[in-house]
Structures are given as structure tokens and as C-alpha cells.
Amino acid sequence: MFFEASTRTRLSFETAMKRLGGDCIGFTGSDGSSIIKGETIADTSKMFESYSDAILIRHPIEGVAKFISDIVDVPVVNAGDGAGQHPTQTLLDLYTMRKEFDKIKNLNIALIGDLKYGRTVHSLSYALGIFGAKMHFISPNELKMPDDVLHDLKRKKISYHESDDLRDVIDELDILYVTRIQKERFPDIEEYERIKGAYSIDKHLVEGKDLIVMHPLPRIDEINHDVDNTKYNKYFKQAFNGVPVRMAILKNIIKHDSQK
């Protein structure tokens, strides 16, 4: 049930399900469902429960996946809820880091860009903290990591460093995790126009550094194409890793009932 646009998350989950021998039904955009006729998302979810072994949902409102999980009896996967969380992206990000470095503990990681509306970095920061990574939050003041996330990290005694200048930390990084400035999340388009392009990662910036560049994609102008054919580029491999990771997720959450 995709109420927002998606390329990697939707297609990698579909690929994962088919590689496991299953199949997928659903829609992209409410125009393809009875939502446009006035059906509630609760009723739509109950229909999906009747037709499937698991529900994957992306929705612009935070908390919808949790709401649905409370009213259906099949597993529900949060494929992104507004500016909230994107937990399966975090799992493939961790998998990518582990494959590249054979560890996560003590890795030096900068999360840069839209930390306010970027659901990927919200989920990722919690996970990195649990695994003992060293985190740097780099963003314009208007797009800082939300206070509730920072409060949670402090409560768990997870340390982090905030800055608006990547140059403060780039020489010590293992991973530069870049995010786009999300135009669709801004309530004020003038604020977006003023902030867009705040950071741009190019080959010259990373050349000679001992780091990798990751990005949940899609990118707009925050990573120059001259990085694509360098050893620093791990964002396409990161996207590829979505398939095996999401195969593992589906394999673990779906308990097939032969009587269904």
C-alpha cells in the first residue's frame, strides 16, 4: 500500500518477495484504490489482510504503519511514514556498513543534509547509537535533527556531535551518509528554495579521504555525478543490498498458514 512515490523500496520488496517464490498485489498512489471513493485506510487495510500474508505500507502521515499493525493480524512493514521513520532502510544501511568494514562499532559517520524531515536518518541514528558508532549530524540550522530524536539519544546516553560545516569532521570520517533536501516535506516553499543546495559532495571534496559515500537515494544535486565512478561510491551497492535484506525481513516475518 504505497500512498507516496517509491522506486527502490517498492521494487526491492517486490523483487525480494518474488525471489522467495511469492507474489505481490497492491497499488501506488491512492488513485488506484477505493480510498478516492472515501474508504478509510482501516477498511482498506482489512481488505489487504484478507488477501495477503503481510502488508507493506508507505504513507505521508507519521504513525500510520503502527496504527494499521494494531488492527490487522498479519505482519505490517513500515516502508516510510512521512518524516517519521524508515526502519527497513536502516537495516540495509547497517548491512552495507558491515559488509564494507566488517564492523559498525566505533565507525565514524556523518549524517549530512536534511536531518529534520529525513526519515532514513531518524531510524539510522537510533541504530548506529545502539551499535556504538560515532555520529556527527551535519545540517543547516533549519534542518537539524529533531529534538525528540536528540532527546532519545541523550536518554540512552548515546553521544553525537552537531555542526553545519562538513569540513569540521571530514578528515576523520569512515562514512559520509548524504541525504537530499526534501522539497515535498517543506510547509514553506520559500524556505526550501533558500536552503536547497546547502551541501554538494563532489570528487574533489572526497579525493584522498579514507571514507565511503552512502545515500538512501534518490539524489538531486547533493552528490555530483563525478563521484559515481570512484571507489567512494557505495550508494548504488547500498540500493542493491535492499533485495537480500528485504528477502530476510520477509522470510522472518511471514509464517505461512496453509489453511489460509
- CA 163 to each of CA 105, 138, 204: distance values in angstroms, whole numbers, following the listed order: 22, 5, 21
* Four-point Cα dihedral 232, 176, 114, 5, nearest 10: 40
Which amino acid type is present at position 199? Y
**10 is a catalytic site residue:** no
> How far apart (Å, rounded) are the C-alpha atoms in residues 77 and 54?
8
Residue from 10, 44, 58, 88 carrying the catalytic annotation = 58
**9 is a catalytic site residue:** yes
Residue from 10, 44, 59, 86 carrying the catalytic annotation = 86
User: Residue 229: is it exposed, middle or buried by C-beta count within 10 angstroms (0-12/13-18/19+)?
Assistant: exposed
**119 is a catalytic site residue:** no
User: What are the backbone angles phi and psi of residue 109, rounded to the nearest 5°?
Assistant: -130, 130
**58 is a catalytic site residue:** yes
Which amino acid type is present at position 151? H
Q: Cβ atoms within 10 A of the Cβ of 6, count?
A: 17
**8 is a catalytic site residue:** yes
Residues belonging to the active site: 8-9, 37, 58, 86
